[in-house]
Structures are given as C-alpha cells and as structure tokens.
Amino acid sequence: MSWANSTRHDRLPDNWDELRAECERLAKGRCQAKVHVPECNGIGTDCDHIEQGDDHSQENLQWLSRPCHDRKTRLDNGAGKKLTLPREKHPGAI
C-alpha cells in the first residue's frame, strides 16, 4: 500500500520515530521475516506491524527488509488468496 493512498501515516503516534528506532535496535538491523523472499539480503529497513491495525507496541512490531515487507503487505492486502467465484448453473439446467 502506498503512503499516498493511505491514512496510515496520520494515525502513527507522535513517538513513532522512537518506536521505529527501538524496533530496529531490538532486531540488530536484521530482517525478522519468518519467511524471507529470495530478494532479501537479510538487512532490515522497514518497521512493520505484525498484525494490521493501530497497535504500536513493540510486541506488534518487526523489522523487515524492503522485499520482505513488500511481500507481507501484499499478503495482508489479500494478494495470493484464491479467488472463488459463485458456481453458475449449468446452461442445460436453466
């Protein structure tokens, strides 16, 4: 999700820079993704909310590389979910 299309930045707490820095410090700068994408070099750059929402506690923050963060964001936003269409009646049964 792009910041340009989101209200997320406006909902961050006033001490977000400190929370982000603490997340990076606790991770020792390394990507904390449970599953790394092939493009991940192991170096974290982004502070991510593990569970979507406005819980900004350190327990809900993780430090991710840009490629791993991009993947997680896509998954959080529904990418990769199987699309199921309603079953149509067979034309002969109409």
At residue 13, the pLDDT reads 93
Phi/psi of residue 39, each to 5°?
Answer: -80, -10
Q: Is the predicted pLDDT of residue 83 greater than 70, yes or no?
A: no
Calculated CA dihedral for residues 49, 52, 56, 58, nearest 10 degrees: -40
At residue 78, the pLDDT reads 83
At residue 1, the pLDDT reads 47
**pLDDT tens for residues 13-72?**
999 999 999 999 999 999 999 999 999 999 999 999 999 989 999 999 999 999 999 999
Residue-range domain boundaries for the chain: 16-76
